[in-house]
Amino acid sequence: MPAKMQLTKGNEALAMGAIAGGCDCFFGYPITPQNEVPEVLSYEMPKRGRVFVQAESEVASINMVYGAAAAGKRAMTSSSSPGVSLMMEGLSYIACAELPCLIVNVMRGGPGLGSITPSQGDYFQACKGGGHGDYHSVVLAPWNVQEMYEFPALAFELADRYRCPAMLLADGVLGAMMEPAEISDDAPPPNVPEKPWATNGRNGRAHKNVVNSLVIDPYGLRDHNLKLQAKYKAMECETRWDTRDVDDAEILVVAYGISARLALSGCKLARKKGIKAGLLRPITLFPFPSKQIAECARNKKRILVVELSAGQMVEDVRLAVNGDVPVDFYGEMGGVIPSPAEVCEKIVEAAQ
Amino acid sequence: MTTAMNSQDGMKKQNGGSVAAEDLVDLKCVFERPQSLSDKPFHYCPGCSHGTYHRLIAEMIDEFGFMDRTVGICPVGCAVFAYEYFETDMIEASHGRAPAVATGVKRALPDRFVFTYQGDGDLASIGMGEIIHAAARGERITVFFVNNGIFGMTGGQMAPTSLIGQKTTTSVDGRDARATGHPIRVCELLSNLEGVAYMARVALTSPKNINTCRKYMRKAIRAQTEDVGLGLVEVLSPCPVQWGMSPGDALHHIEEDVVKEFPPGEFVDKLADPVKA
Ligand SMILES: Cc1ncc(C[n+]2csc(CCOP(=O)(O)OP(=O)(O)O)c2C)c(N)n1
Ligand code: SF4
Ligand SMILES: [Mg+2]
């Protein structure tokens, strides 16, 4: 059946997107607000002869992902903030062992048990490593249900290309909202590159393969770190971003995910009031569109960063413009979502 | 002992010297390194049985003809470098999570032979959750479990399997049950779970016991290959260094004391066994 427009919930789109993206194995532990992901996959995966396991914990989930990814399969897990925190040791191992896989975080309010309401409070964890040691995941931030469907495939593709974990950073609104989206039930299988490094049994191979994150020799570990860092640098060409009405804008709003939706509405309201505002939306949070933000900010009066956090991505925006343009911040926490009118108000304030 | 067994250089030296190569032509090879064991010398302390168990695993992989379709998962513990000693594909897991990693591999590749190798800190302390649930799910994996009653690698701290009264670096006056609880008997604990197809414990202290161990290992492997459930063999193993004993005394200690807390034998056997029937 070809892709058709259907009214779809974000989490369900994500689950179908994982299937379209060639996910062979899903391992996960239930947590709100992403439960539809494992629920849908629990029947859609076995139907297609693929693997679904409800793990006993997020610690187990991420280590099952480690095993299946080491075996050369497209493997993923999905969770929300507290569960993703539990995965950090495993993620660090995966990054060091250079295994491609997908981790979904449908973020909820924190810290602690927090709430089940939407949040963007895990930006630091997602983009700065999160677990121990110097590593990064590719981080993709969808802003609508269509991207919830499309990004798992993109995430797997980038993960395979760079042999690194990819994270899809969504939030409780994107997971729960319903929108028309073009979804296919039987997308053609994606092209998956050969994985000659996989530990899948030698099967005639002249040498054994080892998947490992232990490098006991200091120079060896330094060299491995340098290799990882070179890879992160090379990823810069994968940077993705989107701009709306920025050319003539005096105020540049920078926001990702659901905040970008609110910010775009806020910009439109501001234009009605005669203030020229435009939006830059980072789509990859790692690699971060620093150059693009700096370039776009060049002739702007001020930048306003909008997040559902106390101010996390704003630090990267400030680093990007390096003091050339003043950067304001507007954030809400705990699941409180600002209205477009409130964003507009902040744009008006910035313009004065 | 194990180092010499595994070292090709050692063998060459023994066989070499002044003996001419042609004089050796008629000699029959009676003992050699299993194909699945690499020629890398073990790093284990003298008197440790990690190397012995490695060799037994490699023998089994050869015997079953699995070298080409095995994926092994090593622990964090003294056996952390086990991936260097086997000629099969190997994965190094995080501390305690080998059963979850093995689950990922086995579900992804059901026709491969998947084993974990785990110490008692790895399996019975930090990784207790993962082994219980892998066993409950009846994962078709084989677990080679080394119980030496101590955290060998980190310097001899108390393990959940340390005996009452055992002196360790975190129980310097001897393990006190009131403060630290009682030893966990893994086989007894897991044998309640339906997913376990085979489980046995043996003290790795004598040639006779090593033969018994081979017998148990065969069944723990068949539990997987015959699609019955999880197989596990626990070996009571010496850690002379962290126990502060000579290798000989350490073996006696197992045979005298450790077996009282951890009785050897078969705990679960769901294989249709003609000998038993
Ligand atoms: C998450 C984590 N916690 C702690 C450690 C430190 N650590 C390494 S090995 C080990 C204990 C190993 O004991 P055991 O499993 O009994 O193996 P043995 O060395 O005795 O063979 C510990 C606590 C670690 N590597 N990772
Ligand atoms: S510390 Fe103990 S377990 Fe570790 S290698 Fe030495 S004897 Fe073996
Ligand atoms: Mg131990």
What average pLDDT does range B250-274 have in this prediction?
94
Return the pLDDT at B19. 63
Please tell me the distance between residue B44's alpha carbon and the centre of ligand 2 in angstroms: 6
What average pLDDT does range B194-203 have in this prediction?
98
* Ligand 2 contacts CB of residue B38 (under 6 A): no
Return the pLDDT at B173. 97
Per residue, the 3-state secondary structure of A285-311, as one string, reads EECCCHHHHHHHHCCCCEEEEEECCCC
Q: With CB atoms and an 8 Å threshold, state whether A200 touches B88.
A: no
> Per the omega criterion (within 30 degrees of 0), is the bond before A165 cis?
no
| Whole-number Å distance between alpha carbons of B88 and B109 | 15
- Measured CA to CA in angstroms, residue A110 lies from A82, A87, A117 at distances of 8, 16, 9
B91 → chain A, closest CA residue: A211
Angstroms from B26 CA to nearest CA on chain A: 31
- Measured CA to CA in angstroms, residue B159 lies from A237, B186, B219, B259 at distances of 49, 13, 28, 16
AA letter at B199: M
Of A171, A7, A97, A175, nearest in space to B91 by CA: A97
* A94 token code pair: 């995966």
Using a CB–CB cutoff of 8 Å, tell me whether B86 touches chain A.
Answer: yes
Return the pLDDT at B248. 97
Please tell me the distance between residue B148's alpha carbon and the centre of ligand 1 in angstroms: 12
Classify domain A4-201+208-237 by CATH number.
3.40.50.970
Please tell me the distance between residue B145's alpha carbon and the centre of ligand 1 in angstroms: 14
Q: With CB atoms and an 8 Å threshold, state whether B104 touches A210.
A: no
Q: Which residue owns the Cα nearest ligand 2 atom 6?
A: B45
B2 confidence band (pLDDT: 50, 70, 90): very low
What are the domain boundaries of chain A?
4-201+208-237, 239-351
Return the pLDDT at A1. 55
Above 90 in pLDDT, residue B72? yes
For B223-235, how does the pLDDT look when each residue is reduced to its tens digit (9 = 90+)?
Answer: 999 999 999 999 9
* A201 token code pair: 């049994």
* Ligand 2 atom index nearest CA of B50: 8
Could you tell me how many residues make up chain A? 352
DSSP letters spanning B239-271: -HHHHT--HHHHHHHIIIIIHHHS--EEEEE-S
For B121-152, how does the pLDDT look when each residue is reduced to its tens digit (9 = 90+)?
Answer: 999 999 999 999 999 999 999 999 999 999 99
Using a CB–CB cutoff of 8 Å, tell me whether B43 touches chain A.
Answer: no
Domains of chain B, earliest start first? 46-269 (3.40.50.970)
For A260-299, how does the pLDDT look when each residue is reduced to its tens digit (9 = 90+)?
Answer: 999 999 999 999 999 999 999 999 999 999 999 999 999 9
DSSP letters spanning B3-30: HHHH-HHHHHHHH-TT--GGGGTTPPP-
What average pLDDT does range B21-27 have in this prediction?
72
Chain B hits for A201, Cβ within 8 Å: 68-71, 88-89, 109, 112-113
- In chain A, which stretches have pLDDT less than 70? 1-2
Angstroms from A151 CA to nearest CA on chain B: 23
Return the pLDDT at A75. 98
Q: With CB atoms and an 8 Å threshold, state whether B103 touches A199.
A: no
Return the pLDDT at B276. 45
Chain B hits for A90, Cβ within 8 Å: 94, 97
Please tell me the distance between residue B47's alpha carbon and the centre of ligand 2 in angstroms: 8
Reported ipTM:
0.97
Q: Which of B36, B78, B81, B91 is best to mutate for the A interface (most A CBs within 10 A)?
A: B91
Q: Is the dihedral of CA A137, A138, A141, A145 positive or negative?
A: negative
A76 → chain B, closest CA residue: B104
Q: What is the pTM of this model?
A: 0.95
- Ligand number nearest CA of B119 is 1
Q: Candidates 3.40.50.300, 3.40.50.920, 3.40.50.620, 3.90.1150.10; correct CATH number of A239-351?
A: 3.40.50.920
* A282 token code pair: 């980072």
- Give the burial string for A111-138 (b: 16+ CB within 10 Å, else e): eeebbbbbbbbbbebbbebbbeeebbbb
B273 confidence band (pLDDT: 50, 70, 90): low
Chain A hits for B83, Cβ within 8 Å: 210, 212
Please tell me the distance between residue B155's alpha carbon and the centre of ligand 2 in angstroms: 9
Question: Is residue A167 a contact partner of residue A126, using CB atoms and an 8 Å limit?
Answer: yes
Return the pLDDT at B9. 43
Q: Closest to B89 (Cβ–Cβ): which among A55, A73, A201?
A: A201
Could you tell me how many residues make up chain B? 277
Using a CB–CB cutoff of 8 Å, tell me whether B56 touches chain A.
Answer: no
Is A4-201+208-237's fold the same as A239-351's?
yes
φ, ψ for residue A272, nearest 5 deg: -65, -30
Above 80 in pLDDT, residue B23? no
